[in-house]
Structure 1
Amino acid sequence: MAVTAGSELTLLQETAAAVGSSEAALRLIVSIFIGYPLALFQRWYLFGKEAHLTYLFHIVTGLLLSYFNFGYQMCHFLLCVVLQFLILRLMGRTVTAVFTSFSFQTIYLLAGYYYTATDEYDIKWTMPQCVLTLKMIGLAFDYYDGGKAQDKLTKEQQQLALYRVPSFLQVAGFSYFYGGLLVGPQFSLRCYQKLAEGTMTDVAGQRPNSIMPAARRLGLGLFYLTVYAIIGPYLPDSYLLTDQFLDQPFWYRCVYLTIWGKIMLYKYLTCWLVTEGVCILTGLGYNGMDASGRPKWDSCANVKVWLFETTPLFTGTIASFNINTNAWVARNVFKRLRFLGSKIISQAAALLFLALWHGLHSGYLICFSLEFLIVIVEKQAIDLVHESPLLTRLTTLPALKLPLYIAQQSIHWLCLGYPLVPFCLFTWDKWLRVYMSIYFIGHVLFLSLLLTLPYLRKVFVPRKEKLKKVE
């Protein structure tokens, strides 16, 4: 909790109590929404001005927001920014610099988790620190890529590579930018430099036409905030650990987990949509023109709302949720492990990194292990349906489309809620209690499918289809 004057502290506590929130959560929400007046100030007074003015503006406002939320614990963030700049300056474009950056930033974050961990979800300095960790590691990779020959880089790496060592103002402004300081999203230093230079706009030399796109994301964020504020209190995490929950019928417990998991994710959608609106308003969300010549504003999108709400696939939810973080892990962990020669090992390593990045509680490891299992099983099931003429005909029958979609969506929602139990309850004694109450239904379902799908392939997939697959 930040150290503040008594009158301010009392006002925040009273407001938080009135809305049924913690003081730390209220500070976070206020800090996220403050991004809009800050972005408007930047649009009107800093667009087209010298880039260093934008860097300084972001540093000053970021420091103030850090202090407002975390008091003198903001020094952890500042220390990591300064040391990362020194690593780039002193070690240059070397593997040693990348390894040092990766090791230092990750270990510092994990040490923070270790010394501040509780059995509850707390908003503390490690929250923006985990966002910073990915920024600093990605910065080291991008600077390293800038020293490689162009033909050795992928198209994505060519767009993000840094060909000159960034200044301290650039690194600090990049780290403290209010639009991505507390909850993300992730973006590259190259994009941030373009923002400060005034080139992240759909009309060259003029302010971006981003007010309406930003307002739409803000509106969506407010919608999800309203839904979560109304329904969330009726679906508390603590209810899962009560005797009252255990006394309910099995079907009720499964349905509760299904609805609880869906609503619980809305608090993340709220934060991401609101901060995305801030990034769009500044111009950072600009992502070029589409095929029709209309500007795209999805560069900082962390959620695809329509896909998230309508997809019946677990992989569809992954593709629609926490997009920038998943893209960062894919680019800087999964793809850089291709030398291992195994997609499965690279994917497992990426999910292990994600689990540790979230925290040291056992629940994170269980959650991402289940995600790994579900993704593998779902892919095998989809391949089975596509390669089996019989199953393909059945799933494309008009009369069966709606019933199959409802059944698939029901299983999908349960798949969402089931891994979120350890993600939200953290410690093994809590999540194990809940899993025992529903007889480990998710583990039983997906492990059974993992074992039986190969035999089902022998039954439903003709030999000639298998040979085509091999070819």
Structure 2
Amino acid sequence: MDALFLPLAGAVGASVDQVKLISCLLIAYPLGSVFVRIPADKPNLRHLFNISVSLFYFLPMLGIYTGFLQLLGDILITYFAAKFSSTSKIMPWFIFIFILGHLMFNHIIRVIYDLSYETIEVTGPQMVLTMKLTTFAWNVWDGRRDAKELDKWQLEKSVREFPSLLEFLGYALYFPGVLVGPSLEFTDYMNLVHEKTFTAPGKHEGGRRLPSGRKRVGYRKMITGLAFLGVFVVLGGSNNYSVMVTPWFTEQSWPKRVLLAQLYGTCERTKYYAIWTLTEGASILTGNGFTGFTSTGQSTWNGAANVIPTVIEFPSNFKVLLDSWNMKANVWLRECVYKRITPKGQKPGFWSSMLTFATSAFWHGAQVGYYLTFLMGGFITSAARLARMNFRPFFLPAEGQPTTTAKRLYDFFGAVISLLVLNYVASPFMLLTWKDSITGWARLGWYGHAIVIGSLVFFYAGGTGFCRSLQKKRGISATKKEASASGTATPVAEKTFQVPPAFDKVIPPLE
């Protein structure tokens, strides 16, 4: 089908693979409206519809034939391993290691053949499938455990009735998210298929349980995603991290290089904003992402979001920034890695964070740049947590009092530092090679390392004790300290770029 897309690819200056991918994401919009018109009392038809659309994407549209067979193999191995070993504690770890190992194998193949990010092949969809299959394994294991041993998320997502193969295939190949996400849990998929999610009172379409407002939100996401894509097409070609390793970049003054790095980071992120917003809108059109009704009866659809661009670009601190990026992956890392590797009865600590970031790096690929970014991310998370616990309580207003000027200034400087560190640490993620990554950091004067390592040295060399002593002298309450540790506000009107409540409850920090 490449011949159909060659003229458009030439017109916009993109690769044929990229144009085909975006076309798949846009085709999902009208198909989402078809999906909801399949009666909920015929769930098998909905499963077959998901499978059929995904087959169309992988085979004639994208031409990923052998790659699809690999994905199908992962799906079947996960299904039968979970079915026949559901009571074994080894089962979820076996599936996790096998599926992640297979993904890593394909990442290595991609590096060997030096495939550019413009080339669409199996690893992109496999990353999404890895989250779904490994999460399913843990959900099945949780379904066999005593409910008293489970936390709220585990209890809600646990699978106690093992699905049929058709149901599982429909879940694994749910078409709006099969290529680039969003991921979802099996229980949420089944609730979507049977329309059990839509039980709250409110306005509904045509007398059905499906809430009204779905199209309004979904197509608004489509327009927003296309706008981000337009920004990337216009600006991304000449404003990206690869410029940092050119001779021209060295001719600029250091302050200008730092400012340019901020521009490059934002332009690089617009392609992720575009793709994730487009898939979110398509998911909403199938009914996925429903989060209830407002007090005026208007439906809300925040549950399929994978990114909140405004929070990324205007964060109040590094925690909310991290929580608002690749949000479904954050949930996966928290539930399938961070909490699972922590011994029972112990609180997660530094090594839990580092192992979680290491898993995230393996999941992303085999390039050295990923490991540099995520290794640095572990230290950034620890430094940011210490800063929140030790500095933030001094600026929180008293309970019941309005936000002070000091708190606004603290939020402003926190946002600036968070963005500076983000755009610094993200450069290896895009430059990929050791040589280019180190060159890029060196040309920025290693300012990100200075901020992060300097902060850790300060806190571990006596800064924490000094701040705690000063907090005690000033009579700062335990409520403020707890709010600072979690990154949430005390019961006052703190409105600076806060994560929406639905997300604040679902995605705690990886620390």
Q: TM exceeds 0.5?
A: yes
TM-score (norm: length of structure 2): 0.83
Distance 1:95 1:350 in 2: 20
CA apart distance, 1:207 = 3.0
Deviation larger for 286-295 or 418-427: 286-295
Identify the match of residue 144 of structure 1 among 132, 141, 144: 141
Question: 1:453 Cα shift?
Answer: 3.2
Over residues 441-463 of structure 1, what are the superposed CA-to-partner deviations in whole Å (9 max), with x where a residue is unaligned? 21122111211235444555536
Which residue of 1 is the match for residue 229 of structure 2? 225
> Aligned equivalents of 2:295 and 2:349: distance in 1?
33
Deviations 1:200-252 (A, max 9, x none): 33548433321112122223212222222222122133322211112221112
Residue of structure 2 in register with 1:320 after alignment: 324
Which residue number corresponds to residue 5 of structure 1?
Answer: none
1:13 match: secondary structure: helix
Aligned residue pairs, count = 459
Partner of 1:95: 89
Deviations for 1:114-141, whole angstroms, at most 9, x for unmatched residues?
1222274243211100110111111111
Any idea what the Cα deviations from partners look like across 1:111-166, whole Å, max 9, x if unmatched?
11112222742432111001101111111111111111221211211211111111
- Rate the CA distance shift 1:390–1:212 in 2: closer, same or farther, 3 A: closer
Q: Which amino acid aligns with 2:197?
A: M
1:157 aligned partner, one-letter code? Q
Q: 1:440 to 1:309 in 2, by over 3 A?
A: closer
1:453 aligned onto 2:459: yes
Query: Helix, strand or coil for the counterpart of 1:166?
Result: coil
CA shift in 2, pair 1:391/1:432, >3 Å: farther
Change over 3 Å in CA distance of 1:115–1:386 after alignment to 2: closer
For 2:375, the aligned partner's letter is S
Shift in Å, 1:401: 6.3
Q: CA 1:100 to 1:259, structure 2 compared with 1: closer, same or farther past 3 Å?
A: same
**1:295 Cα deviation from its structure 2 partner:** 3.3
Look up the match of 1:266.
Answer: 270
For residues 267-318 of structure 1, give each alpha carbon's deviation from its aligned partner in whole angstroms, at most 9, with x where no partner exists: 1111111111111111111133457765331121112244233223221111
Deviates more, 1:126-135 or 1:147-156: 147-156
- Indicate the residue corresponding to 1:172 in structure 2: 169
- Are residues 409 and 389 of structure 1, via their aligned partners in 2, closer, same or farther at CA, if it must alter by over 3 Å? closer
- Aligned pairs for 1:14-93 (under 5 A) are 14-44=7-37, 46-67=38-59, 68-72=61-65, 73-93=67-87
The ranges of structure 1 where at least 4 consecutive aligned residues each deviate by more than 6 angstroms after the TM superposition are 389-392, 466-471
Q: Distance between the aligned counterparts of 1:184 and 1:275, measured in 2?
A: 7
In 2, Cα distance between equivalents of 1:372 and 1:305 = 22
Partner residue, 1:111: 105
Provide the rounded CA distance (Å) in 2 between the counterparts of 1:353 and 1:230.
Answer: 34
Pick closer, same or farther for the CA change 1:306–1:47 going to 2, 3 Å: farther
2:370 alignment partner, one of 346, 364, 371: 364
Q: How far off its partner does 1:387 sit? A: 4.6
Tell me the CA shift for residue 382 of structure 1.
2.4
| Contact 2:317 2:411 survives alignment (8 Å) | no
Q: Matched residue of 2:236: which SS?
A: helix
Instruction: State whether residues 128 and 183 of structure 2, in contact with CA within 8 Å, keep that contact through their aligned partners in structure 1.
Output: yes
Once residues 24 and 395 of structure 2 are traced to their aligned partners in structure 1, the CA distance between those partners, rounded to angstroms, is 55
Alpha-carbon shift at residue 175 of structure 1 (Å): 1.2
Larger mean CA deviation between 20-29 and 93-102 belongs to: 93-102
SS of the counterpart of 1:179?
helix
Match of 2:2 in 1: 9
Greater helix fraction, Structure 1 or Structure 2: 1
Report the residue type matching 2:303 in the other structure: S
Instruction: Identify unmatched segments of 5+ residues in structure 1.
Output: 1-7
Moved more, 226-235 or 258-267: 226-235
2:472 to 427, 443, 465: 465
Unaligned stretches of 5+ residues in structure 2 = 483-511
SS at match of 1:248: coil
Relative distance call for 1:441 and 1:195 in structure 2 (3 A) is same
The structural deviation recorded for 1:194 is: 1.5
The separation in 1 between residues aligned to 2:195 and 2:39, in whole angstroms, is 6
Write the letter of the residue equivalent to 2:123. Answer: T
Relative distance call for 1:390 and 1:289 in structure 2 (3 A) is closer
